[in-house]
Amino acid sequence: MTQPSQTSPPEPPEGVREMALLTASQHLVDVNKVAELWSLPPSAILAMVDCAQIHWAWDVSVQQGRERCVRVWFRELFAPHLVRAMSAAGVIAAVLGHPTERRLLAQTVSRILMVSDKTVQDLVAAGELSGAVEDSGLWVTRASLAEFLSRRIIV
């Protein structure tokens, strides 16, 4: 297993490929899931994020500077050699999916970011995401979600 002082993340452990099939629509995962997959403590995963051993990670907390809410792109865990050279814009487009949609329901945003619906509402209220309530619920613009992820990449 890779320790935080090493320069590259570990190879995907057995079972990650199977999990990839089960979580095909799950683009981001939380640090605890990565820790579970790699049999490392969450603090080791955060250290790997902070020193760019895990390259594609975001802080999706409502207020930056407080306790971080870190999410990692699942594809990097599955195939780091394929995604390391991608541009931030390309990765964000892949994370978001829904390329033809101009806006997404808050529930879709919560699934993409792996946060609660309440957190999405709080992100809109804080001005981090642009959204509007309509008859069918809260809608968030895809552009604001892309901008949010651009601002929140941990580098």
Is residue 4 scored above 60 in pLDDT?
no
Reported as a pLDDT band with limits 50, 70 and 90, residue 16 is low
Residue, of 135 and 150, whose pLDDT is higher: 150
| Domain definitions of the chain by residue range | 16-152
pLDDT at position 88, please?
93
Cβ burial, residue 142 (10 Å; 0-12/13-18/19+): buried
Question: Rounded to an integer, what distance in angstroms lies between the CA atom of residue 24 and that of residue 56?
Answer: 17
The predicted-structure confidence for 60-119, as pLDDT tens digits, reads as follows 999 877 688 999 998 888 788 888 888 999 999 999 988 888 999 999 999 999 999 999
pTM (2 d.p.)? 0.81
Strands 103-105 vs 137-141: parallel, antiparallel or unpaired: antiparallel
78 vs 55, residue with greater confidence:
55
pLDDT at 23 over 70: no
